[in-house]
Amino acid sequence: MTAGGVREVYRGLLRRAGSLDGATLMRAADRFDAAVQAMPQGLETELLRARGAALLANVLPLHGAAGRPWSDRALELATPLRGASALPSGGADGVIAEAYLARCAAASTTAMRALYAHQGCSALRRALAADRRELSANFAAGSFALHTPVVFGGDAARAARHFECVLDVEPCHGGAQLLLARAYERQGRRAASDAAFARLLATAPRLAELADRSSRDPGAVARERRDG
């Protein structure tokens, strides 16, 4: 399998991440890992393996599965790739940022959350300085801006811009679609939030089901289900 083939395997995993139950997603993760393991070793292959691991580190905890082994793997794979001239600019640092995002979300203490947020934001700033459209870095930057006031001051408008960038690169990114809906809602942009959540229901129904929608207007959710 070529590197382009593994890229499509990653994109397939990204598309399925929002629609599979936990057990099925774990099997999809195993297939992704096996496909990459079967490839000749190379820098691009390693980066794609790391990107897949960072994705799983953030998605699997929604299903009650442990994300830490996957964030560990992402960091183990991506850290040696920093600065590799043969790779897309900022790619390794973007993956590192996404891995620390997963650790931050799972941290049990405020001190650990602050530490992981600091490490993640250092990596995402390097990534975005190299490539403003880097996928993993934009997802991590939007998530930190939305959920971690100590980092970006809880800036919903900034978060929305990062998630819009992610979806411009990968329209099937369910996590970015969900968080974009929340960012719009925090700005008071209800129509835009409803439209983003409707797209999530259509493209990533399992993720929509798992999402905590307690702050949303139940009538809006019902309208989306009826009209989407």
Query: What CATH number is attached to the domain comprising 25?
Result: 1.25.40.10
How far CA 197 is from CA of 33, 99, 159, 176, in Å, comes to 30, 25, 16, 11
Number of domains making up the chain: 1
Q: In which domain, by residue range, is 110 found?
A: 3-227
Whether the pLDDT of residue 227 is over 50: the answer is no
Task: Give pLDDT tens digits for 184-223.
Answer: 999 999 999 999 988 888 888 888 777 654 344 433 443 4
CB atoms within 10 A of CB 113: 18
Task: Give pLDDT tens digits for 105-122.
Answer: 888 898 998 899 899 999
Confirm if 181 and 22 have CB atoms less than 8 A apart: no
**CA R_g for the chain:** 17
Whole-prediction pTM value?
0.83
